[in-house]
């Protein structure tokens, strides 16, 4: 059996051999990082799991970095075209994009080096892969992230970090146990204007913070489609090239219909949490940052909502909620516009628009403030993907590590649980338990269909 070595091992062997023999060794300048190129030993090798629209976007975000090499892609589907906004998804289109991109950079104009997998476990088993990008449907985030940590990979996982609170804690524990870097894909957190706004709040520029107002409207075209036609939809033949059983994973077996998968899964609670865990995972995440509660959460949650009944989609499309933190700050939310969040203090307010980070403030002069050298500084990042790559190299935590992603997702899930039960929840953020409500507490985790388990 042939024994293969990775590029780092190869370079070490070349260096050792060069000192042991009399004739010269010639190593290409690109291998040494000369001529402005990054040497293979300094590159982060990555595999991408989940090649839909977001997964492909993240792949491009990493592939364009000179110190990254995409070496593998994975998806349960071979190829699927035009399922939402004309996006072509699947492992084969992703492979073609990788090889076309590297071919343009190759001296020969040809590159055929991207491996393709249908099973994420095979990708994670490759010793030469340093990091994994995970952009599957939410119900797969926890299982794959834990497996990646165990396999010694650093992890970029899309938000929400997991689809249940129990899975989130399992991811945090695995990342800590195996010494991995994880960046949750809450990219709004890396926006300069957002971080400036949160610095203003944290440094008391609006006085004492007392209320954070959250707006998460369901007014986009896809929301309207769901509201006007939630199903049910007829059973359909499973498309050729889709491993549907693998797509379902640990969730219950149900018959295939096109509107269950791809983009639309987000509004079915078995697989996602609706807008609450979509844009909500961005907006509530920034509330946590501005409130300095990244390592905890509210202690009381009250929420009421309206979801489609009797169809395929059951995520809440209308809602009103209020959470109270131990520090007295109230988090008040609704499905009203405009999308974003407003920090209200005793001396003024700041509104952050999602997406893009456009700021409004009262007084307007707040936005001309300068944060002094002895005040709280939250740092800046070139962008969210670059922040992850820098953390992989430095082993310093990125802006959205596992605990931050988990605590944000926890609030989103608690709000959905409060709407499902119709009851006020008392939350213990330290022990991560709902106090005095056994039914609600049982919803922190979900049974998993075999053979999958955490």
pLDDT digits (tens, 9 = 90+) for 291-313: 999 999 999 999 999 999 999 99
For residue 159, the cross-strand partners are none
Distance CA 238, CA 229 (A): 22
Tell me which residue has tokens 């998806």: 75
Per-residue pLDDT at 88: 84
Segments of the chain assigned to CATH 3.30.360.10: 189-376+403-444
CATH number attached to the domain at 189-376+403-444: 3.30.360.10
Check residue 421 and give left, alpha or beta (phi > 0: left; psi -120 to 50: alpha): alpha
Per-residue pLDDT at 237: 97
Distance CA 298, CA 280 (A): 15
What is the CATH T-level fold of the domain 7-187, as seen in this structure?
Rossmann fold (3.40.50)
Encode 283-308: b = buried (16+ Cβ within 10 Å), e = exposed.
bbbbbbbbbbbbebbbbbbebebebb
The stretches of 397-436 forming alpha helices (DSSP H) are: 402-421
Segments of the chain assigned to CATH 3.40.50.720: 7-187
Per-residue pLDDT at 14: 34
Cα three-residue angle 126-127-133, rounded to 5 degrees: 65
Alpha carbons within 13 angstroms on the beta-carbon side of residue 231 total 18
Residues of the chain under the 70 pLDDT cut: 1-37, 39, 82-86
Per-residue pLDDT at 416: 98
Provide the whole-model pTM.
0.91
* Average pLDDT of the chain to the nearest whole number: 92
For residue 88, the cross-strand partners are 81
Beta-strand ranges (E) seen in 100-250 are 115-117, 131-134, 154-157, 182-184, 209-215
Per-residue pLDDT at 311: 96
């Amino acid at each position: 059996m042939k024994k293969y070595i990775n590029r780092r091992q190869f370079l070490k062997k070349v260096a050792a051999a060069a000192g042991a023999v009399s004739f010269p060794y010639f190593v290409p300048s690109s291998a040494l990082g000369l001529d402005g190129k990054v040497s293979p030993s300094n590159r982060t090798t990555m595999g991408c799991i989940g090649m839909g629209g977001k997964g492909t976007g993240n792949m491009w975000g990493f592939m364009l970095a000179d110190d990254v090499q995409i070496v593998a892609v994975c998806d349960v589907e071979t190829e699927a075209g035009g399922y939402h906004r004309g996006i072509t998804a699947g492992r084969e289109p992703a492979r073609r994009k990788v090889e076309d991109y590297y071919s343009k950079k190759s001296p020969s104009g040809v590159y055929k080096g991207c491996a393709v997998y249908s099973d994420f476990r095979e990708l994670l088993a490759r010793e030469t892969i340093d990091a994994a990008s995970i952009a599957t449907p939410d119900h797969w985030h926890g299982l794959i992230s834990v497996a990646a940590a165990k396999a010694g990979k650093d992890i970029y996982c899309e938000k929400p970090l997991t689809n249940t609170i129990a899975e989130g804690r399992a991811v945090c524990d695995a990342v800590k146990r195996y010494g991995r870097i994880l960046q949750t894909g809450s990219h709004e957190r890396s926006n300069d204007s957002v971080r400036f706004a949160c610095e203003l709040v944290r440094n008391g520029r609006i006085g004492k913070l007392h209320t954070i107002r959250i707006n998460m409207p369901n007014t986009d075209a896809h929301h309207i489609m769901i509201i006007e036609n939630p199903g049910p939809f007829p059973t359909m033949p499973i498309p050729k090239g889709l491993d549907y059983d693998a797509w379902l994973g640990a969730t219950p077996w149900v018959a295939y219909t096109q509107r269950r998968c791809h983009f639309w899964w987000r509004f079915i609670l078995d697989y996602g949490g609706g807008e609450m865990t979509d844009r909500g995972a961005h907006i509530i995440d920034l509330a946590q940052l501005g409130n300095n509660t990244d390592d905890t959460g509210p202690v009381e949650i009250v929420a009421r909502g309206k979801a489609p009944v009797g169809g395929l989609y059951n995520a809440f499309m209308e809602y009103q909620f209020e959470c109270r933190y131990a520090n007295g700050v109230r988090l008040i939310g609704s499905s009203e516009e405009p999308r974003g969040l407003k920090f209200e203090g005793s001396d003024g307010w700041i509104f952050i628009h999602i997406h893009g980070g456009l700021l409004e403030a009262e007084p307007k002069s707040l936005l001309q403030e300068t944060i002094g050298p002895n005040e709280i500084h939250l740092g800046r990042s070139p962008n969210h993907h670059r922040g992850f790559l820098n953390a992989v190299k430095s082993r310093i935590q990125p802006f959205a590590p596992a605990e931050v992603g988990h605590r944000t997702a926890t609030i989103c899930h608690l709000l959905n649980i409060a709407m499902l039960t119709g009851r006020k929840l008392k939350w213990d953020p330290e022990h991560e338990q709902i106090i005095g409500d056994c039914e609600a507490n049982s919803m922190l985790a979900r049974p998993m269909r075999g053979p999958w388990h955490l």
